[in-house]
Amino acid sequence: MILLNALLKNGSLPSAFWSFIKIQLMNISFVDIIDILVLSFVLYFAVKFLHVRRAGKLIFGVSLWIAFLAVSRLVGLYAVSYILNYFLQAGIIAIVVLFQPELRELLEKMGTEPLKGIRSFSGSKTDEKPILVDNICEAVVEMSRTKTGALIVIERSMPVGDIIRSGVEMDAKISPYLLRNIFFDGSPLHDGAVVIRDMRIASAGCLLPLTRRGDVDLDLGTRHRAAIGMSEVSDAVIIVVSEETGTISVACENDFTRNFTNQTLSAKLTQLLSSVIAESSSKSSRHGRHSRASSSKKV
């Protein structure tokens, strides 16, 4: 500020302003650039994360509170400024308590998103249409035709072990007939969700958390709300078949899309599950090499 005042004394406002900017840019170091990039990344990730959550409205309210505090100090409303500042200091603890689920979810996603980015950058994708996608699509399309309600969770990079343990563990090979049998109306497990891990049915009859969002369409039932809620706390891919209309929907990372067909569902799953398929193929190849090595030793 002192430097800007000195420049104003020696010239006009535009020239002084650009001289001030030039001097500031010349003083920027490499560490300052890294600092700005890291802060920008954190702010972008936080804004993107809170955009579709109730916490976004709370953040807006806190921002208004801080704005009122700044205006009251600027105008000279000392009593109002004192009260607002007092409640703001005491409200920091309340904010942490209110945002506890969102903060935990944010830290979990920050731990998995960079790993997913590195995996995708390294080119761990496959062009081969996986059997996993074919089997799921065949079962889902048939259940859609018969209007059989279904809820399928496909684990990706973030483990969902607590969800698996809430149901009946199976560890079964994925089959369209088995999936349809699980969600058959007379099955004892048809009300819960099926969780797929490592291209196998890990558990059935699982309980999913319902969404905390207040802007969800009122026409959506419990299955759809559970799918959205699961997408809020994990990076899993969740497929829903409506029992009333037979509509196929997919929820993933707070994105909820409806009205899939066999072709569009296959393309969507192939895109979302590329890393899962590549990792599973890598595990299978390692297991195959290990089995061959063991067989050769026995011989």
**In this predicted model, what pLDDT tens digit does every residue of 146-197 receive, in sequence order?**
999 999 999 988 888 889 999 999 989 999 999 999 999 888 888 899 999 9
Per this entry, what is the length of the chain?
299
Return d(Cα 91, Cα 101) in angstroms, integer.
17
DSSP H helical ranges for the chain:
2-10, 13-26, 30-50, 54-75, 78-98, 100-121, 131-145, 161-165, 176-182, 222-233, 262-272, 274-298
pLDDT of residue 292: 44
Return d(Cα 37, Cα 194) in angstroms, integer.
41
Say yes or no to pLDDT of 271 above 80: yes
Q: Looking at mean pLDDT, say which of 59-63, 86-90, 237-241, 252-256 comes out highest.
A: 237-241
Q: Looking at mean pLDDT, say which of 57-66, 104-113, 161-170, 278-287 comes out highest.
A: 161-170
Return d(Cα 20, Cα 13) in angstroms, integer.
10
pLDDT tier at 263 (50, 70, 90 boundaries)? very high
Total-model pTM: 0.56
pLDDT digits (tens, 9 = 90+) for 68-98: 878 877 877 778 777 777 776 666 676 667 6
